[in-house]
């Protein structure tokens, strides 16, 4: 069977993508669907439209959103701590996803980097931090550092980001089942319904 696939545009800087990075794989396993990870450089998309998370939210909204994330944490059992630096530069971490895909460690890497940032407040903008995480996954950190600097990983992130922008990805996580687009971790129940109906 070809089966259904769910595409997920994510960035490490998105709290919602953090939760979804654990919830979506579980959902896909349950539904027998495959998950296609799309490393999307949200900072680039935001800059294109001159959007700033800290500047454009009304006072108090960010505070509310972090409270809401705490509630999601309680509901899902996924730990969550507000990071010191937010937002954070993620281009290197996203390029790392491309590198780890080739080693069949893409999902493990994504979840490990998400947890490093959203649980343990680690500085995932730094190459050494990423290399250490990669080492903990049993891969070669030095090899990772060499590959993440190659144009190939950068080009792939640029390609996916432009592809996403062309598909109207304006936030993260953004999911697609075929042409049906769903925004946010809040829509996993809608996604489940559609996967159920279609498979």
CA distances from 130 to 6, 21, 37, 62, 93 (A): 26, 17, 18, 27, 7
198 binds a copy of itself (CB under 8 A): no
Query: Shortest CA distance to 181 belongs to which of 7, 24, 10, 2?
Result: 7
Query: Looking at 1, 60, 104, 151, which residue binds a copy of itself (CB under 8 A)?
Result: 60
CB of 142 or CB of 186, closer to a copy of itself: 186
CB of 93 or CB of 174, closer to a copy of itself: 174
The answer for residues whose C-beta is within 8 angstroms of residue 195's C-beta and 6 or more apart is 4, 6, 27, 31, 33, 177
Residue recorded with tokens 């935001």: 46
47 binds a copy of itself (CB under 8 A): no
168 binds a copy of itself (CB under 8 A): yes
> Taking the CA of residue 66 as centre, how many other CA atoms within 13 Å lie in the half-sphere pointing to its CB?
14
Cα radius of gyration (the chain): 16
> Taking the CA of residue 190 as centre, how many other CA atoms within 13 Å lie in the half-sphere pointing to its CB?
12
Query: Looking at 54, 58, 179, 197, which residue binds a copy of itself (CB under 8 A)?
Result: 58
Query: Looking at 3, 34, 64, 146, which residue binds a copy of itself (CB under 8 A)?
Result: 64
Min separation Cβ 168 and a copy of itself, Å: 4
Query: Shortest CA distance to 174 belongs to which of 38, 33, 22?
Result: 38
55 binds a copy of itself (CB under 8 A): no
Applying CB under 8 A, which part among 23-31, 88-96, 132-140, 164-172 lies near a copy of itself? 164-172
**10 membership: H or E segment, kind and range:** strand 5-10
Min separation Cβ 49 and a copy of itself, Å: 5
CB of 20 or CB of 148, closer to a copy of itself: 20
| Interaction site with a copy of itself (CB under 8 A) | 49, 51, 56, 58-61, 63-64, 67-68, 71, 75, 168, 170-171, 181, 183, 186-187, 190, 193
């Amino acid at each position: 069977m070809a089966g259904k696939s769910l595409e997920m545009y994510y960035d490490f800087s998105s709290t919602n993508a953090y939760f979804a990075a654990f919830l979506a794989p579980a959902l896909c396993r349950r539904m027998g669907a495959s998950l296609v990870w799309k490393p999307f450089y949200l900072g680039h998309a935001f800059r294109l439209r001159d959007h700033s998370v800290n500047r454009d939210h009304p006072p108090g909204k960010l505070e509310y959103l972090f409270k809401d994330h705490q509630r999601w944490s309680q509901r899902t059992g996924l730990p969550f701590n507000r990071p010191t630096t937010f937002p954070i530069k993620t281009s290197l971490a996203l390029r790392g996803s491309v590198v780890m895909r080739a080693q069949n460690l893409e999902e493990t890497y994504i979840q490990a980097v998400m947890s490093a940032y959203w649980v343990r407040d680690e500085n995932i903008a730094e190459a050494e931090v990423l290399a250490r995480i990669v080492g903990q996954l049993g891969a070669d950190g030095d090899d990772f550092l060499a590959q993440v600097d190659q144009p190939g990983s950068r080009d792939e992130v640029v390609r996916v980001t432009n592809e996403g922008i062309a598909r109207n990805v304006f936030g993260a996580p953004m999911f697609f089942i075929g042409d049906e687009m769903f925004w946010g971790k809040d829509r996993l129940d809608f996604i489940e319904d559609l996967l159920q109906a279609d498979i």
